[in-house]
Amino acid sequence: MRVGISGHRGLSGEVERKVRALIEVAVTSYGTGAGPGNASLVGVSCLADGPDTWFARAVLDQGGQLEVVLPAAQYRADLPAWHHSAYDDLLHRATQVHRTGLNASGPDAHMAGSELLVDQVDVLLAVWDGRPARGYGGTADVVTYAREHDVPVKILWPEGATRD
């Protein structure tokens, strides 16, 4: 099973805790019966801070393989400096890296990366509050793309939670 992730970043502490739990449950359900070294579970992530990283770690904890999509050559520089060590570690652990071929990071590259990610998976996990994207390439746009391309979407959002 090939599973991808898209989701809101910068969640409050309480929402983060709940989202992490939802991701763990979802990944565990796709990796059921797998055990360590489960080659049948492949997680695909862009490794942004937040849900992308929590998902990547959960896949690896389930013994699955991690594939990474790099939206742009300069993508890492766009991520918060405090996240670089986690990003570097997970990128190093990836079994495959997919690249869009774009150099500059930004909304167009992020959407191109998300489209490439969706095109690689059987199901998309979306940490999404159900609201419109705050900018081009946001989670709402990724969910729309997945649905337009008949990729099932599983929404992971705590009941009653809101974004700041």
- Which pLDDT value is given to residue 113? 98
Q: Nearest 5°: CA angle at 59, between 53 and 65?
A: 110
Q: What's the pLDDT tens digit per position in 40-77?
A: 899 999 999 999 999 999 999 999 999 999 999 999 99
Number of residues assigned to the chain = 164
**Residue 63 to residue 163: CA distance in whole angstroms:** 32
On whether residue 13 sits in a domain, the answer given is: yes
| 116 within domain boundaries | yes
Burial class (CB in 10 A: 0-12, 13-18, 19+), 106: middle
Q: Mean pLDDT throughout 84-109?
A: 97
Instruction: Examine residue 21 and state whether it is found in any structural domain, yes or no.
Output: yes
> At 79, which CATH number?
3.40.50.450
pLDDT tens per residue across span 120-151: 999 999 999 999 988 899 999 999 999 999 99
Residue 23 in any domain: the answer is yes
- What is the residue range of 133's domain? 2-155
Count of structural domains, the chain: 1
The answer to whether residue 50 is domain-embedded is: yes
User: Beta-carbon neighbour count of residue 22 at 10 Å?
Assistant: 18
**What's this model's pTM, rounded to 2 decimal places?**
0.93
Q: In this structure, is residue 161 part of a structural domain?
A: no
* pLDDT of amino acid 38: 56
